[in-house]
Chains A and B, each alone.
Chain A
Amino acid sequence: MTAVSFEGAEARIGGTTIWRDVSLTVERGQFVAVLGPNGSGKSTLVRAVLGLQPLAAGSASVLGRPPGEANDRIGYLPQRRSFDESTRIRGADVVRLGLDGARWGLPLPGARSRAATRRVAEVIELVSATAYADKPIGELSGGEQQRLLIAQALARRPQLLLLDEPLDSLDLPNQAGVAALVRSICREEDVTVLLVAHDVNPILGYLDGVIYVAGGTAVEGAPEDVISAETLSALYGVPIDVLRASDGRLVVVGAPDLHGHHAH
């Protein structure tokens, strides 16, 4: 089963072509990383999968439907979203919005409402955010917010997870923790994952495929082909090394901006 497929797709924003001739296929249940330099169009690709970015040419199919028509089966974490201190809404309520926030009418007390409350508690537990889920989301740290937002994306048991730089504001142990969490959801619940990343190391061991976006197009490949010194150096236009650590894992070492791309 194919989760996402693009055929000769092109995206244009305000008359400028971001990428074109994009043809790719992501099979159901795969864990795929989307790599590429800043401004290359990774977020645009994710938005195109959601139907938020219309295609200027070509065609696409997402979970067997045109983009935008299967969004209730997709969990989405946009890039670098943070709530400022004045947002006086509990984390748990933000997670709940991911479950039934698009429904009209007020939630009536009853079996359905209790099930919703249980599901919210469950996903919050899954991302280990129970300790702070009842605090106003604006008062949480970036990493704590990120965990709750991942829980929000998981709330509806999506078949496809689109995570735009989910590891962005996490410290190293948390990056590894969230990466492992996403991987286990992918394996155990057969969820397809498209994960945009700048630092590929935390997810390197889990990948089924890589989509790299650069030079006005996007290409997919097997991780072992893309995660090589030559390909990555060409992709980012700076020298990058791929080393093998003593335990056999690959480590990408490169220009500092592969890790710290975003100045704060």
Chain B
Amino acid sequence: MGGSWWSARPTCTGTMLTSSVFTGLSWNPVDDVHALFTYPFMQHALAAGTIVAVMAGVIGWFMVLRRQTFAGHTLSLTAFTGASAAVLAGVPIVLGYFTVCGLGALALAGASGPRRSQGTESAATGSIQAFALGLGFLFVSLYHGVLNGLDSLLFGTFLGITSSQVLVLLVVAVVAIALVAVAARPLLFASVDPDVARASGVRVQLLGLGFLLVLGLSVAETSQITGALLVFALLVTPAATAQRLTTRPLAGVVLSVALALLVTWLGLALAYFSVYPVGFYITSLSFALYVLARVFA
């Protein structure tokens, strides 16, 4: 894999990354934008970032509405557990991501029964999270030899993405967004008003499980590229900001996607022209937006 974007100047020279790539700003906007699109690794990063931002914007809006940010955070950490388990077992990392995120979604759905209070639920979620994280570190330490991927397990490999990864990401995003779109109204109903939804024939429990599985699926796929930590930043912050700014569901989802795209593109561009990592820019930009929205809206 290419250098992890955590260290902005790539420390290892991958096939597509050398430090000579970073030429700094020319202060000519046309040249600068052109430069952004010149190298395949940047093209892939922009494509992957765009796909991830759209998916995270849509799914994150529902996650925030359902007050499942803690569950989302837990799933993104189980992605780390899954990856380390896969490395240890010598199976493809993708398999680890999907298996463990799927199991995590099932466990979380079990923790959130219909009459379970918010308190019980978050206590259960917290326990699952701690356990998953502990397991992950166990796997990492059991893995003798240098696990040089720890950085990228947590922080992703944004600048080392291949075109086939972009394709897989696109497929996962289309499936996840299509599922959410088909279930949008019952899911909204079940999230806002579960009792009446149940009486109207909505399978509230089943939808809750389905949503966690889709959340797990998108987190699993996204973490391979953005890392377990950044996916969470893209899931929660744009959506929470959008919900401060509008109370209309459709406008909220669109705004959430737009904000996720904005911070991702800006973050990638800033990282390209500077020495600081993408993750830092994306998280700081979205945090700044959130603070602005809270203060002014």
Contacts and interface: CB of A to CB of B under 8 A. Distances in A.
Interface of A: 50, 52, 71-72, 74, 76-78, 81, 83, 86-90, 93-94, 97-98, 100-107, 135-136, 152-153
Would you list the 3 A-B pairs with minimal beta carbon distance, nearest first?
A101-B189, A78-B195, A102-B200
Contacts of A97: 185, 188-189, 192-193, 196-197
17 contacts: A50-B199, A52-B199, A71-B199, A72-B201, A76-B196, A81-B193, A94-B192, A97-B185, A101-B185, A101-B188, A101-B189, A102-B197, A102-B202, A105-B181, A105-B185, A107-B185, A135-B247
Interface in B175-221: 181-186, 188-189, 192-193, 195-202
A33 B6 CA distance: 66
B186 A90 contact: no
A76 B196 CA distance: 7
Interface residues of B, number: 26
Given A74-B199, A104-B186, 8 more contacts: A71-B201, A77-B196, A78-B196, A97-B193, A97-B197, A101-B193, A104-B182, A135-B247
Contacts of A135: 247
Interface of B: 65, 67, 181-186, 188-189, 192-193, 195-202, 243-244, 247-249, 252
Contact of A93 (B67, B183, B201, B248): B248
A101 B197 contact: yes
A98 to B, nearest CB: 7
Contacts of B65: 88-89
A141 B202 CA distance: 27
Nearest to A101: B189
Contacts of B243: 88
B233 to A, nearest CB: 20
The CB with the most chain A CB atoms within 10 A, among B182, B185, B201, is that of B185
A104 B187 CA distance: 9
A83 B193 CA distance: 9
B129 to A, nearest CB: 21
Contacts of B248: 90, 93
Nearest to A86: B67
B182 A105 contact: yes
A101 B186 CA distance: 5
